[in-house]
Chain A
Amino acid sequence: MTGTIHKSQIQKVFNQNEAYLSLIIVAYSILVTSLNPSFLSFENLLDLGKSSASMGIMAIGVFVVLLSGGIDMSFTAIAISGQYIAANVLIASGVDNIYFAFLISCLVGLSLGAVNGLIISYFKIPTFIATLGTLNVFHGILLTVVGTKAVNSAQLPDCFKKFGATNVFTVVKPEGGSYGLSIFTVIFIAVALLTWFILTYTQLGRGIYAIGGDMEAAKRSGMNVFNIQFFIYCYVGILAGIAGVLHVSLIRYSNPTYLVGSELSVIAPVVLGGTRITGGSGTVIGTILGVAMITLLNNSLILIGLSSFWQEFFTGVIVAISVSLSSYQIRKSMMI
């Protein structure tokens, strides 16, 4: 008797988490639109899709790590390293090609991710400590070895700027000017789909869920836990590399001190999206909704006319509330 009540309630909490979040997003959008009608315009939505892509891709990476029961604190340092090194190599070599930029940034991401993966799976250091350490190591090396001078818009190779302005389709406004669906958004969706496919339909992906659920049981069932963890941190590294290039293409400026320090604002949407911080549970859809919610919040504050300093405050509040709510619901259902 007690068993069934317990079961259905927990099930509800997790199945409904995403539904709740969608509902909040819709309700909030309506509220903001009533205050500022320009909010719910097609143009603004497409623009949000573009500006949130870089954060979204990193959030997907963080989601995969959290799912496996770990955490990565170093991905911002990886993203900025990939971006800054790619920009500098392109300038130095004179090759003005965005594919080359992606290649370099992703290679940097892959190698730094591999360092994380090796440290974590070989030396069995807790992931939080390991990546907090490598965050500083990676960033320190970047600043001392590669440089501290920002690449400004004039110096930045044209391919970044062109890439930043690329739209998959463009709408010309009657009053002049145009807007469209940015390639950024498409890349974000592609990354999300790929991640969803890996997690749902591959042995590797199920292994990620499995080690997040019970590491010991995973070992006993004959999974190669070492390989799975190594893959995860390499994957996050590559995603950070992609995010780095999107970031510089968006703001047309590469400063090696950017991004680092914003780890929590990327982890926040993942947690908001219902991914359990202890591992084993969470969905790609949830993560995307989390990113949407945080993006919406940040954007709307400006539209409403609040200073952007309020962003951090509201991000913090919303994460605290959502996590407390779900943990309260779980606790309530456990007590019956």
Chain B
Amino acid sequence: MAEDFLKIQNVSKLYSGVQALDNVSMSIGQGEVHCLVGENGSGKSTLIKIIAGVVTPDGGEIIVRGKSYKNLRPIDSINEGIQVIYQDLSLFPNLSVAENISLNQLIEEKKKIINWKEVKNIASSVLSTIKKELDLNEKVENISIANKQLVAICRALLRNAKLIIMDEPTTAITKKEIDKLLSVILDLKESGISTLFVSHKLSEVLQIAEKVTVLRDGKKVGDYNAGELDYDTLSFYMSGKKIDHSVFDYQERADQKTLLEVKDLSKKGQFEDISFKLRPGEIVGMIGSLGSGRTEVALSLFGLNKPDSGSIYMNGEPVKINSPRKAISLGLCYLPEDRLNQGLFLKQSIQNNVVVTNLRKILTKSKLLNYSKKYEYAKMWVDELNINVPSLEIAVQALSGGNQQRVVIAKWLATDPKVFILDSPTVGIDVNSKSNIHNLIRQLAKKGIGVIMISDEVPEIVHNCNRILVMADGRIIQEVDTVDITEDKLFDLVSSNSKNSEG
């Protein structure tokens, strides 16, 4: 086996009394594709920062190509060829692809005057080393996230990268794009460059990694060859718990009327002839890759995306939903995929976030806010949903992903909804909290709320929905009862059809 590029030995880090990393060792071989997995708070990011030299460990040793560092500085790390691509990519949206790639090099060379030919030459030569083509003159804000990642990778390569660390690179890209990224990584591997992937999307970890290191609560659980792992064992190592494999069981009652019906809903360039029915107590899954039209349909139902044609019925009555206000008054609510920007007022307190949809209920007689009512009302919902917080005054940005999502759900339950649309409700939420959210959603259905759950994770859909709508290219290509399909079959159905969408 090739010599290890990076060795970490017995590294520990204590953050104000919390043991973020406890005696962790790992090694990354030259040209190895290595995954680092763990739930939020398991110490993944601390470990990356230590490798990048941004955080100094309390004890332990970092050995890069045989050279031992007790105190690795950021500049040492960069000089040794370690490049971190953070989740936000740190690109300049307003500058061209070529400039984004070569800017750092020009800064390093302390060039005062820019030679645009050189800028393009640098960029295109790096792109050719990873066998990719991009429009060099296009502004970065206009290219897809996957291509932005390529730009970031090129930039890292220019700095003579030997190890590229990618922090959650697959969160926002489609299956097809993930495959593209994988092919790039294999090319890098051939030129002897190692990759460290940080992720908590298990299926991708299994697809990409050669070796997997699992962290839990700051301790290393173990190093594994990807071949010896499957989804269940990996999630067991991460969470320390067996995941709950119970499935949602929907009891159909003969007298159930249709709650929501969508007929031939179309919008040019987004979706076509969308028709389905939703009964009270059902959880209907909507699955399809990014760009399949799933989110666009949901937005139309919530009055944020006016359809060109088609009709929507609530309890058999035709309705026009032209604004979220109208949608809410009809008993619809929508949990957005982008929880942080669209679902919450991050800097506001839990209390304010919970009451915001229903201020009318907490007014005094003279139509002013009643603060004690507001507190009680928020407290009631926080208790109801078991949101475990020391105070209602804490800003929601300080909460974990799972608790944040509960706040969003509480906010909508306060409006007494009949139909709850959940767009990717467990994105970025760790395995354990995930099953808690799933249980919560099932309880809502039990109470008679009709739930539409959008997701691109096959297991999530299969375990929680009684009916599944498979979407591709803006159409519902299949509608199945969950009992009639297996995870594998659904996976094939989704991935074979996602190839046509998103270029």
Contacts and interface: CB of A to CB of B under 8 A. Distances in A.
A11 interface: yes
A222 B107 contact: yes
Contacts of B92: 209-210, 213-214, 217-218, 280
Interface stretch (B137-145, B335-343, B381-389, B421-429): B137-145
A258 to B, nearest CB: 36
Given A1-B501, A221-B103, A281 B143 contact: no
B103 A11 contact: no
B17 interface: no
Given A203-B107, A280-B94, A335 B112 contact: no
Interface in A252-311: 279-281
Contacts of B110: 203
Nearest to B501: A1
Interface residue tally on A, bucketed by range: 20 to 34
A214 B269 contact: no
Nearest to B141: A10
B107 A3 contact: no
Interface in B206-229: none
A206 B95 CA distance: 9
Interface string B101-145: 001101110111110100000000000000000000011011110
B138 A3 contact: no
A1 B474 CA distance: 11
A259 to B, nearest CB: 31
B399 interface: no
B66 interface: no
Contact of B114 (A10, A206, A214, A280): A206
Nearest to B306: A335
Contacts of B144: 3
Nearest to A219: B90
B90 A5 contact: no
Contacts of A202: 112-114
Contact of B503 (A1, A217, A220): A1
A201 interface: yes
Contact of B113 (A6, A203, A212, A218): A203
A2 B291 contact: yes
A80 to B, nearest CB: 33
A215 to B, nearest CB: 10
A7 interface: yes
Interface in A37-91: none
A223 interface: yes
A216 B90 contact: yes
B104 A221 contact: yes
Nearest to B142: A7
B337 to A, nearest CB: 15
Interface in A224-241: none
Contacts of A335: 305
A117 B270 CA distance: 48
Nearest to A197: B113
Interface of A: 1-7, 10-11, 200-206, 209-210, 212-214, 216-218, 220-223, 279-281, 335-336
Interface of B: 88, 90-95, 99, 103-104, 106-108, 110-114, 116, 138-139, 141-144, 269-270, 291, 305, 501-503
22 contacts: A1-B291, A1-B502, A3-B502, A3-B503, A5-B269, A7-B143, A202-B112, A203-B106, A203-B107, A203-B110, A209-B92, A209-B95, A214-B92, A216-B90, A217-B90, A217-B91, A220-B90, A221-B103, A222-B107, A280-B92, A280-B93, A336-B270
